[in-house]
Amino acid sequence: MTLFILRRAIQSVFVLLAVSIVVFFAVYAIGDPVELLVSPDTSAAEREVMIRRLGLDLPIWRQYLVFLGNLAQGDLGTSFVHGVPAVELILQRLPATLELVVLSLVIAVSIGLPLGMIAGLAPETRTARTIMTGSIFGYSLPAFWQGMMLIFVFAVFLNWAPAAGRGDTVSLLGIEVSFLTADGWSHLILPAINLALPNLALVLRLAASGTAEARLQDYVKYARAKGVRRGRIVRRHILRNILVPVVTVIGVEFGSLIAYSTITETVFAWPGMGKLLIDSVYQLDRPVVVAYVMIATFIFVSVNLLVDLAYAVLDPRVELEKGAS
């Protein structure tokens, strides 16, 4: 177990290094931030000072080495635009995104899993077909369109919930959160649903196909032959067997939701990491973009590790030591 985690940690360092090279050079290729940062009427001398101060006078490979050197000391660079450390900027926005992502996953699982199991247990029924057909809309309609429709119907037309912003927040252990205030909830619910829909559909379909397969297995028939009640068969025998793929998806989606909640955050003007990324790309704020990608990768890698550890808990046949190779 410890060996497994250690080995994965070392692998992760190489992943992060590889990602840093790709993103650093890619961002360099997008454009020259100096044009955006310096007003046209500044003198050439001032301009030179500015370039030197930002470290942009060095060739790209030297810039990368400087970046690596700072990284080794835990410094991911300073925002060109805001003049504060990029990490600080991102971590400020992290709680808002986390709140959104966690709530959307809770929605996706708490609705998707039971609905999927209902559909999987009796695939020939009309209820099952209705559920499965409905789930197609969940992942085939584009997220931005779903978001705009949610705003149109629930914010504009019905006026049940606000269309934008984060609402009132309260401080919980020094972190501003929305989910403890009524106003915060009303702001949170629409973007969370928007973010949840594709994953709800995904979890639902996974649960449905897993259940449809599991219910025909000999162990289910054997449990029936033992006189086990239907409710217990579904909750223990079937649910436990379909959890592995569901947990995998939740894990992978947790990482990508944090990284790519950009569309939802943009549509709903939710002040999270995703919106920060979009703003930073527009402003060519290189350090923020690079730091963002590095942090997103780190979260991704960590969640994947947690998912692998969860396998061992859910499926007793999984051996981590062998699985690592």
Partner 1 sequence: MTPLPADPSRPLLEVRGLRTVFHTLAGAYPAVDGVDLSIARGEVVGLVGESGSGKSVTGFSLMRLVDPPGEIVAGEVLFEGRDLLSLPESEMRAIRGDRIAMIFQDPLMTLNPVLTIGEQMIEAVTEHHGVGERAARARAVEALGQVGIASAAERLRQYPHEFSGGMRQRVAIATAMLNEPDLIIADEPTTALDVTIQGQILHEMQTLCEASGTALLWITHDLGVVAELADRICVMYSGRIVETGSADAVLDAPRHPYTAGLLGSVPSVNAPGTRLHQIDGAAPPLSARPTGCPFRTRCGNVLPVCAEIDPPLVGPVPGRGWRCHNPMPERDAA
Q: Does 129 bind partner 1 (CB under 8 A)?
A: no
Residues 6+ apart with CB under 8 A from 147: 190, 191, 194, 263, 264, 267, 268
Residue 241 beta carbon to partner 1: minimum distance, rounded to whole angstroms: 6
Task: Identify the residue among 11, 110, 130, 217 touching partner 1 (CB under 8 A).
Answer: 217
Distance CA 107, CA 288 (A): 31
User: Under the criterion CB under 8 A, does residue 324 sit at the interface with partner 1?
Assistant: no
Q: Which is nearer to partner 1, 129 or 240 (CB)?
A: 240
Nearer to partner 1, 190 or 223 (CB): 223
Please say which residue, 242 or 293, places its beta carbon nearer to partner 1. Answer: 242
In the complex with partner 1, which residue's Cβ is closer, 53 or 317? 317
As measured in angstroms, the least distance from the Cβ of 230 to partner 1 is: 8
CB 113, min distance to partner 1, A:
16
Cα separation of the two ends of the chain: 13
Binding mask 225-264 for partner 1 (x = CB under 8 A): xxxxx--x---xx--xx-----------------------
Distance in Å, CB of 305 to partner 1, minimum:
21
Phi first, then psi, for residue 8 (nearest 5°) are -65, -35
Q: What's the CA dihedral at 74, 271, 258, 284 to 10 degrees? A: -60
Handedness of CA 118, 145, 260, 140 (dihedral sign): positive
Distance between alpha carbon 53 and the CA centroid of its chain, in Å? 35
Name 302's Cβ contacts closer than 8 Å, sequence gap at least 6. 12
Query: Among 213, 315, 321, 323, which residue interacts with partner 1 (rule: CB under 8 A)?
Result: 315
Q: Which residues contact 143 (CB under 8 A, 6 or more apart)?
A: 194, 195, 197, 198, 263, 264
Provide the mask over 267-286, with x wherever binding to partner 1 is found by CB under 8 A and - wherever it is not.
Answer: --------------------
Residues that bind partner 1 (CB under 8 A): 216-219, 221-229, 232, 236-237, 240-241, 314-317
